[in-house]
């Protein structure tokens, strides 16, 4: 998570910071895993809404690099821990 939160803060929070769901500015972890919309599916990481949005062809794909995308996918695959 220490590698993931800076990605959200740097690349996502300017738009997803309160006016647009998920709110990634105040508590990205809770917004992605405990909000009304399930953005992370640890049982099937590549089907996670978060990953679909940032993956090639997704609506947010241009905002993250391939390295950042890989970090996020690995984080989900490893259980999306809050550590």
What pLDDT, on the 0 to 100 scale, is given for residue 1? 63
Instruction: Give strand ranges (E) for 28-71.
Output: none
What pLDDT, on the 0 to 100 scale, is given for residue 42? 94
What pLDDT, on the 0 to 100 scale, is given for residue 7? 93
What pLDDT, on the 0 to 100 scale, is given for residue 77? 97
Measured distance CA(66)–CA(82) in Å, rounded? 22
What is the residue-level pLDDT of the chain in tens, covering all 83 positions?
Answer: 678 989 998 999 999 988 889 998 888 889 999 988 999 999 999 999 999 999 999 999 999 999 999 999 999 999 999 87
Measured distance CA(30)–CA(32) in Å, rounded? 5
Residues sharing a CB contact under 8 Å with residue 37, sequence separation 6 or more, in sequence order:
21, 22, 49
How would you class 7 by CB atoms within 10 Å of its CB: exposed for 0-12, middle for 13-18, buried for 19 or more? buried
């Amino acid at each position: 998570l220490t590698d993931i939160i800076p990605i959200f803060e740097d690349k996502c929070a300017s738009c997803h910071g309160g006016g647009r769901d998920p709110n990634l500015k105040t508590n990205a972890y809770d917004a992605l895993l405990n909000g009304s919309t399930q953005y992370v599916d640890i049982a099937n990481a590549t089907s996670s809404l978060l990953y679909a949005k940032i993956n090639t062809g997704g609506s947010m794909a241009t905002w993250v690099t391939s390295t950042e995308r890989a970090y996020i996918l690995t984080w989900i695959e490893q259980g999306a821990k809050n550590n």
